[in-house]
Amino acid sequence: MSAVTGLAAEAAAFMERAGYSSSSRSGYQRIWDQFGRYCTASGVRVPDRETAAGFCAAVGADGAGQWQVFYRRAVGCLFDVADTSRFALRAGRGGIPVPKIFTVEFEAYASSLAGCGLAEATVRAKTGMLRRFLAFLAGQGVQRMTALSVADVSAYVRSLTPMAASSRAGQLYFLREYLRFAVREHGADPVLGAMFPVIVFDRDAVLPSVYRPGEVAAALAEAGNQSESPLRDRAVLLLASLLGLRSGDIKGLRFDQIDWANRRLSLAQHKTGRRLDLPLPDECAFAIIDYWKNERPDVDDPHVFLRAGPRTSRPQRVTTSTTSWPGVSPGPESRHPGGTAGCTRCVIPWRSGCSNPGPPTR
């Protein structure tokens, strides 16, 4: 017995188990016999997929015509069976035959659709998908719906990989519906009914955007290079990047909200009003102290960050937007919306009043 004959016998047995009609099997067998004669004439004793490609080219089946695609599929099935003991089932215009062992299940589902007021095309599509699924189960050796397992369903889902994304989506929607039907009507494992949960989400939602570590490092390295207050800007960026403070909270940060002895910040968030208690990293603490001792205007104001200017000026704004951070290139790829991703807008008031309290003791 030649290698092709052995592969053809195994593939034919699989098709019979899967419920293919005798006429469908004979169509495949005719091509397998032709491929066997080609191998014999070519002196090929152990054919492979490359041999199959040569055969298809020799008989002119390397085009896009329906019969050419069928030739390539028929020959490819031999090697699919050799590799996995099965091949992917495909429905023709007449649909895949319903395996005899699942006739009752098929008719029960088809009957349930009859009273739903669905369009004829919808009913045909759903029953067609069920034919494919039941034929696959029969090919896997599943004999009854109560024996169906998660592994069997997962194997079927993997077999859908060659399909287009929209086709796979339709199959998965159908599976979710049918598995729940099988649990309810045929006593299938209840776990199957939960395999494809409905996930509610906002179609307009986007993934949160954050600064990459390299961008934060570049911003910190360049902080203050083009600023009137480089020490302040560095401290602001550290609070934004290390603690994720919003710009409003950085703007309103006061000295009495800093516990220097225990290195902690305690404040009510400007946006939500919720209490926030955070550890104060040494890098942030030293940056604030450096700014306080060497750059902060000598005025009596409880707020940490001020903008130098005439005492008669109104509170002024300092904008550090996502596209103007030092070290971060502007452009669509570098935009990072979200106040907690970084200090996207810092408003630094200048206030005058009492004398400036002395810096804390390190």
For residue range 221-260, list pLDDT tens digits in order: 887 677 788 889 889 988 988 888 888 899 999 999 999 9
122-161 pLDDT per residue, tens: 888 899 899 999 999 999 999 999 999 999 999 999 999 8
In angstroms, the CA 261 to CA 45 distance is: 84
**SS3 letters for the chain?**
CCHHHHHHHHHHHHHHHCCCCHHHHHHHHHHHHHHHHHHHHHCCCCCCHHHHHHHHHHCCCCCCCHHHHHHHHHHHHHHHHHHHCCCCCCCCCCCCCCCHHHHHHHHHHHHHHHCCCCCHHHHHHHHHHHHHHHHHHHHHCCCCHHHCCHHHHHHHHHHCCCCCHHHHHHHHHHHHHHHHHHHHHHCCCHHHHHCCCCCCCCCCCCCCCCCCHHHHHHHHHHCCCCCCCHHHHHHHHHHHHHHCCCHHHHHCCEHHHEECCCCEEEEECCCCCCEEEEECCHHHHHHHHHHHHHCCCCCECCECCCCCCCCCCCCCCECCCCCCCCCCCCCHHHCCCCCCCCCCCECCCCCCCECCCCCCCC
258: Cβ–Cβ under 8 A, 6 or more apart, which residues? Answer: 264, 265, 280, 288, 304
pLDDT at 310: 52
In angstroms, the CA 275 to CA 254 distance is: 15
In angstroms, the CA 219 to CA 266 distance is: 26
CATH 1.10.443.10-classified regions of the chain:
213-334
Residues of the chain falling short of pLDDT 70: 1, 18-19, 86-95, 206-209, 224, 308-362
In this structure, what token pair is assigned to residue 145? 């719906």
pTM of the predicted model over 0.85? no
In this structure, what token pair is assigned to residue 82? 């050799």
Q: Which CATH number fits domain 213-334: 3.10.330.10, 1.10.443.10, 3.40.50.700, 3.40.50.970?
A: 1.10.443.10
In angstroms, the CA 277 to CA 266 distance is: 4
pLDDT at 241: 85
pLDDT at 1: 57
Provide the residue type at 169 as one letter: A
How many Å separate Cα 33 from the centre of its chain? 45
